[in-house]
Amino acid sequence: MNYISTRGAGIGERHTFSDILLGGLAKDGGLYLPAEYPRVSADELARWRTLSYADLAFEVLSKFSDDIPAEDLRALTRRTYTAEVYCNVRSSESAAQITPLKPLGVESGAQLSLLELSNGPTLAFKDMAMQLLGNLFEYTLGKTRQTLNILGATSGDTGSAAEYAMRGKKGVRVFMLSPNQKMSAFQTAQMYSLQDPNIFNIAVEGVFDDCQDIVKAVSNDHAFKANYKIGTVNSINWARVVAQVVYYFKGYFAATQSNDERVSFTVPSGNFGNVCAGHIARMMGLPIEKLVVATNENDVLDEFFTSGIYRVRGSAETYHTSSPSMDISKASNFERFVFDLLGRDPKRVLQLFRDVEEKGGFDLAASGDFARVREFGFVSGSSTHADRVEAIRDVYQRYNTMIDTHTADGLKVAREHLQAGIPMIVLETAQPLKFGETIREALAREPERPAAFAGLEALPQRFEVLPADAQQIKEFIAANVRD
């Protein structure tokens, strides 16, 4: 399996899965994709139907990572996808399934279900990929006797998944910046209660934007970056995307009796990483009818899929909503889909994303390309705060099921795209516990709390308070990196 950049650099070079695992963008600013998508044969699909999650993950991943010996990869997936790691189920019988499918009911002739992706250690779907990444990093770094220091900024929702994935991993340290005293008590406790010596929580005296600016400043110091082996684990990481392909297969098998059936998926979307994995599953031959992209008020993606216009937003136009993990101004994985939509023409991709940088967007409405989004199964919709409160209330009353705000956006939009006879699977991307305020507003009660989270806020915390100053952050990193 060879990987290429969406912008065409290095055509003719070879990049294996391991080569791109620890990096981010390709050197021309593009994103990596396989030179061609592996196809799944009818025989394979039949055999995969009964596999455990870990063994299904092995089958899917091995099609993308032929440079990792099969026995090593199988050991990695079996170590990652265990009932012990994905233990935060709300119905005790299903932890071994890793991503249980929860049927809600039949609406407009379609079976509506939730695919639970948020039973991992941080109660959000990012654990699905990040836990694998932690094990892949440890494995790859160990083989090449390298170390990596991951630097990131978080407003509370995404940094924790990286920390829980990398805790205790050999060869990896995490330096995570968060705004001091600006996160909820739950978010703060989730991150700062980690006592692992390779996890460094840095509470920056400033706001989230200050944290992000510091990460940029440190990353732009190329000498420091090379010297201290600084890396990131952001959502464009290819291994994260491909790990997410697995649960589309798992969800399909759980929702159908035979491989002749088709299903649709609705995906609460922000950076387009999750639904990009659905697109890849479909390209591999999984019988997916529709991929429904659900956004909140930050509707960059809905605008594209309804009009053909991709227009990134400035910070004044990026809203803070009650589904905050979807509050994005541009969708960082979107370029991967655009590459396929344009028939994999890197010159045109380069031009379009130059237009994004120079003019703030592009318009495919007039070109024949936009008509092809339906051939790829894509449709979309958006949601507001009032919609998600209503969806949370409705699902609770009708199906006795508590959903979080992101899943509620998905459910609202899914209902606009139901087709009789075609099961609709809404990806549950987080548990309600993380978004207690909106749950209380919708239901006048506290969110459900998995047993492992009892008393979390009272645990001792380990963190360092530092000023919003890149130089002092660098000094802190330097003092804590000793090999």
Ligand X SMILES: *Cc1c(COP(=O)(O)O)cnc(C)c1O
- Given 63, 102, 126, 330, the catalytic residue: 126
- Distance, in Å, from the CA atom of 134 to the CA atom of 233, rounded to the nearest integer, reads 10
Distance (Å, whole) CA 337 – CA 321? 26
Residue type, 294: A
Place of tokens 């494995």: 139
Name which of 65 and 271 has its Cβ closer to ligand X. Answer: 271
Burial 30-62 (b: 16+ CB within 10 A, else e): bbbbbeebeebeeeebeebbebebbebbbbbbb
Kindly report the backbone phi and psi dihedral angles of residue 317, in degrees, each rounded to the nearest multiple of 5, phi listed first: -105, 5
Whole-number Å distance between alpha carbons of 245 and 324: 24
- Report which of 170, 469, 401, 429 is spatially closest to residue 295, judged by C-alpha positions: 429
Residue 372: what are its φ and ψ, rounded to 5°? Answer: -75, -10
- Tokens 């032929």 map to which residue? 66
Amino acid at 27: K
Min dist. Cβ of residue 77 to ligand X (A): 21
Minimum separation from the CB atom of position 342 to ligand X (A): 21
Q: Please, what is the minimum distance in Å from the beta carbon of residue 434 to ligand X?
A: 8
Distance between CA atoms of residues 305 and 317, nearest Å:
19
- Toward ligand X, which CB reaches closer, 326 or 350? 326
Least distance CB 383 / ligand X (angstroms): 12
The Cα 233–Cα 2 span in angstroms is 21
Are 303 and 309 in contact, with CB atoms under 8 Å apart?
yes
In the complex with ligand X, the residue whose CB is nearer, 218 or 373, is 373
The CB-of-294 to ligand X minimum distance in angstroms stands at 9
Q: Report the DSSP pairing between strands 172-179 and 199-205.
A: parallel
182 is catalytic: no
**80 or 237: CB nearest ligand X:** 237
Q: Which residues bind ligand X (CB under 6 A)?
A: 124, 126, 157, 235, 268-274, 325-326, 406, 429-430
**What is the nearest approach in angstroms of ligand X to the Cβ of residue 203?**
21
Closer residue to ligand X, CB minimum distance, 157 or 289: 157
Q: How far is the CB of 145 from ligand X (least distance, A)?
A: 33
Label residue 18 exposed, middle or buried (CB < 10 Å: 0-12, 13-18, 19+): middle
Task: Please identify, using beta-carbon distances, which residue of 68 and 294 lies nearer to ligand X.
Answer: 294
Left (φ > 0), alpha (ψ -120 to 50) or beta: where does 26 sit? Answer: beta
Instruction: Provide the minimum distance between the beta carbon of 388 and ligand X in the complex, in angstroms, as a whole number.
Output: 12
Please identify, using beta-carbon distances, which residue of 8 and 159 lies nearer to ligand X. 159
Residue 152 corresponds to which tokens in the numbers above?
A: 């990131």
424 vs 426 by CB, closer to ligand X: 426
Longest dimension (CA), the chain: 61
Q: Rg for the chain (alpha carbons), in Å?
A: 21
Return the number of other C-beta atoms located less than 10 Å from residue 86's C-beta: 26
Beta bridge partners of 382: 295
Residue 98's nearest CA partner among 113, 81, 110 is 81
Q: Measure the CA–CA gap between 265 and 425, rounded to whole angstroms.
A: 5
SS3 label, residue 296: coil
| Of 18 and 401, CB closest to ligand X | 401
- The DSSP-derived string for 428-452 is E-B-GGGGHHHHHHHHSSPPP--GG
SS3 370: helix
Task: Find the shortest distance in angstroms from Cβ 324 to ligand X.
Answer: 9
Q: Which positions are annotated as active-site residues?
A: 126
